[in-house]
Chains A and B, each alone.
Chain A
Amino acid sequence: MSNNIIQAQNLVLSYKKNEPIIKDTNLTVKNKDFVFLTGKSGSGKSTFLKSLYGELNVEDGDLNVCGFDLKNASRTKLNLLRKHTGVIFQDYKLIDEWNVEKNVMLPLMIAGYSKQVCKMQAHKLLKHVKLSHKIEKMPLELSGGEQQRVAMARALAHNPTLIIADEPTGNLDDYSSEVIWNLLKSVRQHIGSTILVATHRIPQTLGIDYKQYFLDEGTIYEVT
Chain B
Amino acid sequence: MKSLKNHLSFIIPLFILLFSIQFATMIDRGVKEYETHLAGEYTIVAVSSIALEQKILKEKIPAIKSISEIQKDKYIEKLKSDISKADLVYLRANLPKFYTIKLTSLPDKESLKKISQELKKINGVSKIETFKKTFNKFHQFLQMSKTASIFFTIFIFVISFMLIVKQIEIWTLEHKKRMYIMGLFGAPFWMKSASLYKSVVIDALISAMLVAIVFLLLPNFADLASIKRELGVNMSNFNFFTDLTKLVFIALFISIISVTTVILKQKNS
Q: Which residues of A contact B (CB under 8 A)?
A: 53, 55, 78-83, 87, 93-98, 106-107, 109-110, 154
Q: Are A110 and B184 in contact (CB under 8 A)?
A: no
9 contacts between A and B (CB under 8 A): A53-B184, A55-B184, A78-B186, A79-B187, A87-B184, A95-B181, A107-B185, A107-B186, A110-B187
Considering the chains assembled together, what is the distance between the CA atoms of A40 and B66 in angstroms?
Answer: 97
B264 at the interface (CB under 8 A from A): no
B interface, how many residues as a size bin? 10 to 19
Q: Which residues of B contact A93 (CB under 8 A)?
A: 181, 184
| A-B residue pairs, 10 tightest by C-beta | A82-B186, A79-B186, A83-B186, A110-B187, A95-B178, A107-B185, A93-B181, A110-B186, A110-B185, A95-B181
Most buried by A among B182, B186, B191: B186
Given contacts A78-B186, A82-B185, A82-B186, contact A110 B191 (CB under 8 A): yes
B188 at the interface (CB under 8 A from A): yes
Number of A-B contacts (CB under 8 A): 38
Interface SS of chain B: helix, strand, loop or mixed? helix
Q: Which residues of A contact B186 (CB under 8 A)?
A: 78-83, 107, 110
Q: Which residues of B contact A87 (CB under 8 A)?
A: 184-185
Q: Which residue of the partner chain B has the closest CB to A155?
A: B185
Encoded as 1 (CB less than 8 Å from any A CB) or 0, chain B from 156 to 182 comes to: 000000000000000000000110011
Cβ contact of B177, chosen from A53, A96, A107, cutoff 8 A: A96
Q: Which residue of the partner chain A has the closest CB to B175?
A: A97
Beyond the given pairs A79-B187, A95-B182, 17 more chain A to chain B contacts, judged by CB atoms under 8 angstroms and listed by A's residue number, are: A53-B184, A79-B186, A80-B186, A82-B185, A87-B185, A93-B181, A94-B181, A95-B177, A95-B181, A106-B181, A106-B185, A106-B187, A107-B185, A109-B191, A110-B182, A110-B186, A110-B187
Considering the chains assembled together, what is the distance between the CA atoms of A98 and B188 in angstroms?
Answer: 19
The B181-215 residues at the A interface (CB cut-off 8 A) are 181-182, 184-188, 191
Q: Which residue of the partner chain B has the closest CB to A106?
A: B185
Minimum CB–CB distance from A95 to chain B (whole Å) comes to 5
Minimum CB–CB distance from B195 to chain A (whole Å) comes to 9
Q: Which residue of the partner chain B has the closest CB to A55?
A: B184
Q: Which residue of the partner chain A has the closest CB to B174?
A: A97
Minimum CB–CB distance from B186 to chain A (whole Å) comes to 3
